[in-house]
Amino acid sequence: MKKTILFLVTLGVLGGAAGSLLRAKPETDAFKVAVVDFQRAINETADGKKAESQLNAALEEKKKKFEILKNELEGMRTDFEKQRLVLSGKPLEDKRQALQQKLIEIEKTGAGYEQELARKKGESLQKIINGLQTVVREIGQKESYDFIFEKSQGGVLFSSGAEDITDRVIKAYDKLQ
């Protein structure tokens, strides 16, 4: 419900702003409009490809470390099952607690890995997005665009006369880096 209200308010504000912009521009002049696909630009820039490669390498490294921990846990579990019938009392309880501690350690480690990878991804994406925004602003100012819309996040449903400048944005971004 809140999202619907926020969406309607946003549409109203954008509609009002667009209406006043339309009235401010002489009727004989056409608006110069472009669209850019940020998701594609992120994926196709040199920095985007490099970040994805680094994240995949880090993910593989974390998977290997996590697999080692899982194998240790499985070994402890197998050992516990073998000795469960022979041991009793404190020795059995010690083994059970050690197994439980290892499981908790693995869960914490896995959660830590996920957080670390998400943080790295976020940092990489933010750097690229900031650079792309700068490039889009520069193109917009240099080439006198009235509007440049981002099309991959659902903001543009149809754009008949809008020029897609994504390729130019990617090239300009890569030149800056």
Q: Encoding tokens for residue 133?
A: 């925004």
CB 63: neighbour CB atoms within 10 A? 11
Mean per-residue pLDDT of the chain:
80
Residue 29 confidence (pLDDT): 63
Q: For the chain, which residues make up each domain, given as ranges? A: 24-176
Residue 92 banded pLDDT, cuts 50, 70, 90: confident
Percent of the chain with pLDDT over 90: 34
The per-residue DSSP string of 94-115 comes to: HHHHHHHHHHHHHHHHHHHHHH
Residue 17 confidence (pLDDT): 40
State the pTM of this model.
Answer: 0.65
CB 127 within 8 A of CB 6: no
Q: What is the mean pLDDT of residues 58-87?
A: 86
Q: What is the mean pLDDT of residues 158-164?
A: 77
Residue 12 confidence (pLDDT): 39
CB 24: neighbour CB atoms within 10 A? 7
Percent of the chain with pLDDT over 70: 82
Q: Encoding tokens for residue 43?
A: 């994926």
The per-residue DSSP string of 13-41 comes to: HHHHHHHHHHHHS-TTSPP-EEEE-HHHH
Domain 24-176, CATH among 3.30.428.10, 3.30.910.20, 3.40.980.10, 3.40.50.300: 3.30.910.20
Q: Encoding tokens for residue 73?
A: 């846990």
Q: Encoding tokens for residue 77?
A: 């579990």
Q: What is the mean pLDDT of residues 101-129?
A: 91
Query: Pick from 25, 22, 34: which is nearest to 143 by CA?
Result: 34
What sign results for the dihedral spanned by CA atoms 91, 95, 101, 104? Answer: negative
Which of the two residues, 17 and 58, has the higher pLDDT score? Answer: 58
User: CA torsion angle for 110, 115, 117, 121 (degrees, to 10)?
Assistant: 160
pLDDT > 50? residue 158: yes
